[in-house]
Amino acid sequence: MNKKTIRYILINRWAAFIHDLVWVVLAIVLAYWFRYNLEVIPQVDYNSLISLLLISVPVHGVVFWLFYLYRGFWRFASIPDLIRILKSVSLGAVIVTAVCALVTRFDGVPRSVFLLYPLLLAGGMSLSRIAYRWLTRQKFRVSARDGKRTLIVGAGSGGELLVRDLLQRVEYQPIAFVDDDTTKLNRDIHGIKVMGKKADLGELVRSLSIELVLLAIPSADKKTVHCFVNQCNQINVPCQILPSVFEMAGRGVDADSLRKVTVEDLLGREPVLLNTKAISSYLKGKVVLVTGGGGSIGSELCRQLANQEPRVLIVYDNGEFNLYSIDYELREKFPELNLESVLGDVKDIDRVNWVFKTFSPEVVFHAAAYKHVPMVEMNPAEGVNNNIFGTKVVADAAVDHFVDRFVMVSTDKAVNPANIMGTTKRVAEIYCQNLAALSKTKFITTRFGNVLGSAGSVVPLFQKQIESGGPVTVTHKDITRYFMTIPESVGLILQAGSMGKGGEIFVLDMGKPVLIRNLAEQMIRLSGVSSGGAVEIVYTGLRPGEKLYEEILHESEGLEPTDHPKLLLARSREVDWDWLSAEFKSLQIATRSRDIKLLKSHLQNIVPEFKEFRE
């Protein structure tokens, strides 16, 4: 807060304080005047009047200050402010009456004055604030004539709070509400009328020359948001929404909260309810390590873990900028967090063992991986080295240092893999599952689909293509993928960590897969361009290692329900440990020599269902 702002606030506070003291004087003088039927106050009562003023002004001044009457702004005066005025005036009047009784014994003071002046004082102070707020609002309304003509969908508490704020801003000119609750029809909210239902949106936008439509229903489900966006697209009017109740996280409703509709709003599923008590039970007060902590999933893991109050949070990443970014963010948002940021590679045995020896982590979340299918397909040895042997390094260190839980982040591409990336993740799953049987460390795997907005995902790519004018490239018109939001996927990881006993693969019930063609069309519409307009969709053909659809489990794994309705359990497949160890040694030799044919042969041995895609 700069000096100019501080000076402005102080001047306003003192002006309000002096105003109230003036009203103390006016209230007492008016009380005397009313006592004498609005006629001239007798000369004989002047002394008692002055005595009462000398007592009441300092007493009320102290009481007003103690009741914090000067912390708020008059233009935001509300019922709680009026209640504080009534309480402070009442207490002040009691004290003044008591002091007068002790000092003057009410000599020459009409008794009715002690009843009249508190009423006049409370009324004067309250009416001044109400009048100021009304005048200020009128001024903003006049100045807002050039603001965007705005229609608000939702006349509930969210809409009421939003329009109250919009009326204070020059950028907006609220015109009308719409709401499907018929009891609200034709009612006014802060002077803005509820003029119809959601079905009337198109007609009202045209007849009222609306320039912006706002959805003010934080509790709206995905279906409601989808219908709202479709309506606005059909009538060609810009739209914005208030974030969901979960996104708001206790923040107030105002115009600053408004944002554009995102693809997450349309494709993200309903929030998965988590057992927060179970999650907290294994994380609070613990030393927690996150590998790949600067990535899309890893950084969100760190944010949610910070809320669980770990004793120490260790963020491990080989990307300097990513590590710096999440370190800066966490220190800003969680100043009390005991944070250790470590720059290092999961393939570096010495560095990994140093971390475990130095900090003694009790829970490990392994999110470090190469996950971009075409890039790993072009660099298979590096994918194997990072995703398989990097996982082995961290997992072995967890066993050697007696870590309680090791949660590995996997992918649906590990099921019946058609590419190197998916196969490396499946091998990592197999290693962790079988290592669990040989150690006291609980190895838990979480498997889920694509994450909306993560690095390397299709959403940022489409966004970049749309911004550059297209075309938007889709590999196949029938290609589908499962999607979830980053917070949702991380919630699954944390929940699975609380449920696992060791060796399990937890799979999220991901609902229906999304047609990528539809995703592209929706993103084009959200950008304000019709899918049949300037931005074209071009089909480029499936890439090496890419399947038309992803699966969530191998046919031999089966699925079993768990205590959580959205989490399913895949049965683990045990292999002979000596055989697996021998295959790992051979695979490592092929990786170091960059013998890709031999490398793929050993991957095929470990994961028989691996069938390399060829178009």
Give the residue numbers annotated as catalytic, written as ranges.
413
Q: Which residues pair with 567 in a beta bridge?
A: 508
Buried b (16+ CB within 10 A) or exposed e, 177-200: bbbeeeebbeeebeebebbbbeee
**CB-CB contact of 373 with 298 (8 Å):** no
Q: Are strands 567-570 and 504-508 parallel, antiparallel or unpaired?
A: antiparallel
**Which tokens belong to 208?**
């009222």
Degrees, nearest 5: CA angle 500-503-507 = 65
CB contact at 8 A, 402 and 440: yes
589 — phi, psi (to 5°)? -65, -45
In this structure, which amino acid lies at residue 255? Answer: A
Q: For residue 501, how far is the Cα from the chain centroid?
A: 31
Give SS3 for 484.
strand
CA–CA gap between residue 142 and residue 124 (Å, rounded): 27
Rounded to whole angstroms, the Cα distance separating 401 from 348 reads 16
Between CA 189 and CA 195, with CA 194 as vertex, the angle to 5 degrees is 155
Name the 3-class secondary structure at 343. strand
Type of residue at 440: K
